[in-house]
Amino acid sequence: MNERAGAVTPRSPHLNILTVDLEEWFHLDEDVVPPGEWDRLPSRVEETTRRLLAILEAHGARATFFALGWVAARHPALLKMIAGRGHEVATHGYLHRSVAAMSTEEFRADLLRARQAVETATGEPVEGYRAARWSLGGVPGGGRRGRASGVVTGALEVLVQEGIRYDASLAPIVYLGDPSWPAAPHRLETAAGPILELPPLVGRFLGVRLLSGSGWALRRVPNRALLRQIARRNARGWPAVLDLHPWELDPDPPRLRLPFKYRMAHYGGLRGFPAKLADLLSRLSLVPVRDYLAKGLLAASAMPPA
Ligand SMILES: [Zn+2]
């Protein structure tokens, strides 16, 4: 039992997956802060990522960092350091563009540019992808009954064609995705071949199905409730996939004038989050996707053939 001194409850023996979207505080939506403005804004990613790494290391947690290519190109030493500490570095695309707004060839160009920036920095191959704002699921709210408009199949095929092993972009909730999509890791068949899909943790709070392992909900939903949801998934043999951003560890983030939906998602619940996160990390055993897959814990039916 790897219980930490002073912890009230023992650390769960089940492995779960921790992911980090490695991006700047201003990487929200290209309509809110367009890429042409990014180089003029103060960079906080080095400082906030170091703070995050220190918290992860204090609790023995390792993660998959989905690095934005734009960040990788400007901070290669940061990526090298992350990889050197035993974390996995995958990619979050280059310019944080909505997948649904790109043509298939624009998507391929953005993916390859990002992968090259990441691999040049780390010297290790990129195996995984996460779309900006879960947008591989289509235009948010653009489908039936408030669901997203549907998986961008052309982009999914590009991931397979370019040798990406897994995707972590399809949210099984209304608006950002579709609640009819599986909440467990699963194999997606595409015209180009299969790929492993790792959906983010979802849970129900006050009757609403939320992404509970990321963003506002991860910062605000009590750890007790999160740990109960994670234990329920683990009892079914599934890992929970949690998701952090370095800017969530910024004690004094620069303020932008944002539309309300972004204001809550971006600034709600930041106060006290480092302590809440540390408590959660002390009760879970968190590993990168790469390490989880290497353990062979997923059902063979979910895994694409190697
Ligand atoms: Zn992002």
| 136, pLDDT greater than 80 | yes
Q: In this structure, what CATH number is given to the domain that contains residue 19?
A: 3.20.20.370
In angstroms, what is the span from residue 182 Cα to ligand 1's centroid? 22
How do residues 151-196 score in pLDDT, each as one tens digit? 999 999 999 999 999 999 999 999 999 999 999 999 999 999 999 9
Confidence of residue 8 (pLDDT cuts 50, 70, 90): low
CA gap 203, 178 in Å, rounded: 14
How high is the pLDDT of residue 7? 47
In angstroms, what is the span from residue 83 Cα to ligand 1's centroid? 19
| 5, pLDDT greater than 70 | no
CA gap 263, 96 in Å, rounded: 18
CA gap 289, 10 in Å, rounded: 23
How high is the pLDDT of residue 306? 64
Determine the structural domain holding residue 32 and report its residue range: 15-297
In angstroms, what is the span from residue 134 Cα to ligand 1's centroid? 8
For residue 185, being part of any structural domain is answered with yes
- Give the closest residue to 45 by CA, choosing from 241, 254, 219: 254
In angstroms, what is the span from residue 56 Cα to ligand 1's centroid? 20
For residue 8, being part of any structural domain is answered with no
How do residues 190-240 score in pLDDT, each as one tens digit? 999 999 999 999 998 777 788 989 888 899 899 999 999 999 999 999 999
In angstroms, what is the span from residue 29 Cα to ligand 1's centroid? 9
Helix axes 273-283, 45-58, angle to 10 degrees: 40
Task: Using a pLDDT cut of 70, give the percent of the chain over it.
Answer: 95
In angstroms, what is the span from residue 235 Cα to ligand 1's centroid? 30
How high is the pLDDT of residue 6? 45
Least confident range from 8-12, 226-230, 250-254, 276-280: namely: 8-12
Alpha carbon distances (Å) from 27 to 34, 83, 85, 92: 9, 22, 25, 11
Angle in degrees, CA 246, 170, 168, rounded to 5: 50
Q: Are 244 and 214 in contact (CB under 8 A)?
A: yes
In angstroms, what is the span from residue 1 Cα to ligand 1's centroid? 35
Domain count, the chain: 1
How high is the pLDDT of residue 4? 46
How high is the pLDDT of residue 125? 98
How high is the pLDDT of residue 153? 97
| 2, pLDDT greater than 50 | no
In angstroms, what is the span from residue 158 Cα to ligand 1's centroid? 20
In angstroms, what is the span from residue 27 Cα to ligand 1's centroid? 6
Q: Are 196 and 167 in contact (CB under 8 A)?
A: yes
Write the CB contacts of 54 (distance below 8 Å, at least 6 apart in sequence): none
How high is the pLDDT of residue 301? 76
In angstroms, what is the span from residue 67 Cα to ligand 1's centroid? 9
In angstroms, what is the span from residue 89 Cα to ligand 1's centroid? 14
How do residues 32-86 score in pLDDT, each as one tens digit? 889 999 999 999 999 999 999 999 999 999 999 999 999 999 999 999 999 999 9
In angstroms, what is the span from residue 21 Cα to ligand 1's centroid? 6
How do residues 87-120 score in pLDDT, each as one tens digit? 999 999 999 999 999 999 999 999 999 999 999 9
For residue 219, being part of any structural domain is answered with yes
Confidence of residue 271 (pLDDT cuts 50, 70, 90): confident
Q: Are 38 and 147 in contact (CB under 8 A)?
A: no
Ion ligand 1 residue ranges (Cβ < 5 Å): 21, 23, 132
In angstroms, what is the span from residue 92 Cα to ligand 1's centroid? 7
In angstroms, what is the span from residue 93 Cα to ligand 1's centroid? 9
How high is the pLDDT of residue 241? 98
For residue 302, being part of any structural domain is answered with no
From the centroid of its chain, how far is CA 295?
20
How high is the pLDDT of residue 204? 83
For residue 305, being part of any structural domain is answered with no
The model carries a pTM of 0.94
In angstroms, what is the span from residue 9 Cα to ligand 1's centroid? 33
